[in-house]
Structure 1
Amino acid sequence: MRPKATTTLLTLSLAAAFGGFAATAIRDGLETPAQAAPVAAAAAPAVAALPAAVGTTPLPSLAPMLARVTPAVVSVHTKQRVSVSPFGDDPMFRRMFPELTQERINESLGSGVIIDAQRGYVITNHHVIEGADAVSITLSDGRTLPAEFLGSDADTDIALMRIPAQNLSALPLGDSDALRVGDFVVAVGNPFGIGQTVTSGIVSAVGRTGLRGLGFQNFIQTDASINPGNSGGALVNLNGELVGINTASFNPRGSAAGNIGLGFAIPTSLARNVVNQLAHNGVVVRGALGLESQDVTAPLAKALGLDEARGALVTQVFKGSAAAGAGLRVGDVVVAANGERIDGRDSLRNFEGLQPVGSRVALDVRRDGKPLQLSTTLREQPRSFAGVELDPRLDGAVFAELPERLRQSGYSGVLVESVARGSRASRNGLQKDDVVIAASSGNFEDLPGFRASFTQAPAQLVLRVMRGANRRGDLTMQ
Structure 2
Amino acid sequence: MADTMSSSLEQLSAAMADAVAAASASVVAVHTGRSRASGFAWREGLVVTCEEALPDDADVTVCLPGGASARATLVGRDAGTDIALLRIDGAAPSPIAFDAAPVRVASMALAVGSLAGTPVAAAGVVSLAAPAWRSLRGGDIDARIELGLTMRRIAEGGLALDAQGRAIGMSVFGPRRRVLVIPGATIDRVAAQLAAHGRVPRGYLGLGLQPVKVEPEGIGAMVMSIDRSGPAAAAGLRQGDVIVAWNGEPVRSVQMLLRALGPASVGTVMALSLRRADEPVEAQITIGERPAD
Smaller-chain TM-score bracket: 0.5 to 0.7
2:41 maps to which of 114, 117, 131: 114
Please say if residues 209 and 254 of structure 2, whose CA atoms lie closer than 8 Å, have aligned partners that are also in contact. Answer: yes
Query: Which of 195, 214, 222 is the aligned partner of 2:118?
Result: 195
Query: Is this contact kept in 2: 1:208–1:220, CA < 8 A?
Result: no
Tell me if 1:148 matches 2:73. Answer: yes
* Bigger Rg over Cα: 1
Secondary structure of the residue aligned to 2:151 is: coil
TM-score relative to the length of structure 2: 0.67
- From 49, 73, 76, give the equivalent of 1:124: 49
Residue equivalent to 2:20: 66
How do residues 145-294 of structure 1 correspond to structure 2 at under 5 angstroms?
145-166=70-91, 168-175=93-100, 178-179=102-103, 181-190=105-114, 195-200=118-123, 201-204=125-128, 206=130, 207=133, 215-216=137-138, 220-238=145-163, 240-248=165-173, 251=176, 262-288=178-204
Q: Which amino acid aligns with 2:42?
A: I
Point out where structure 1 has 5 or more consecutive residues left out of the alignment: 1-5, 19-49, 53-57, 81-105, 252-260, 305-311, 337-341, 368-375, 385-478
| Residues 327-375 of structure 1 deviation map (CA, whole Å, 9 limit, x = unaligned) | xx94326697xxxxx96321332342x4356587999x999xxxxxxxx
Which runs of structure 2 are paired with 1:361-376 in the superposition (5 Å)?
none
Q: 1:225 is paired with a residue of what secondary structure?
A: coil
Larger helix percent: 1
Alpha-carbon spacing, 1:194–1:357, altered in 2? closer, same or farther (3 Å): same
User: Which has a greater percent of strand?
Assistant: 2
Shift in Å at residue 131 of structure 1?
Answer: 4.4
Partner SS, residue 229 of structure 1: helix
One-letter amino acid of the structure 2 residue matched with residue 332 of structure 1: A
Shift of 1:122: 0.4
Structure 2 counterpart of 1:198, one-letter code: A
Post-superposition offset of 1:72: 0.8
Letter matched to residue 37 of structure 2: G
For 2:153, the aligned partner's letter is P
| Structure 2 gap segments, 5+ residues each | 224-230, 275-284
Shift of 1:123: 1.0
SS at match of 1:284: coil
1:318 aligns with 2:235: no
1:71-82 paired onto structure 2 within 5 Å: 71-78=25-32, 80=33
* Matches of 1:220 and 1:247, distance apart in 2: 11
2:263 to 322, 339, 355: 355
Highest relative contact order (Cα 8 Å, sep 6+), 1 or 2?
Answer: 2
Label 1:65 to 1:14 Cα distance change in 2 as closer, same or farther (>3 A).
closer
Compared CA separation, residues 65 and 289, structure 1 to 2 (3 A)? farther
Equivalent residue of 1:151, what SS? strand
1:50-90 residue CA offsets vs partner (Å, 9 max, x unmatched)? 3x5xxxxx888234543432211111222x4xxxxxxxxxx
RMSD of Structure 2 on Structure 1 (CA): 4.5
CA offset at residue 160 of structure 1? 1.4
1:290 to partner: Cα distance: 6.6
SS at match of 1:244: strand
| 1:55 aligned residue | none
Aligned residues: 267
CA pair 194-319 structure 1, distance change in 2 beyond 3 A: closer
CA contact (8 A) 1:188 1:230 kept: yes
Report SS of the residue matched to 2:118: coil
State the SS of the aligned residue for 2:24: helix
- Aligned match of 2:281: none
**1:358-416 deviation per Cα after TM superposition (whole angstroms, max 9, x unaligned):** 587999x999xxxxxxxx985422345xxxxxxxxxxxxxxxxxxxxxxxxxxxxxxxx
Please give the TM-score of this superposition, normalised by the length of structure 1. Answer: 0.44
Match runs of 1:24-43 below 5 Å:
none
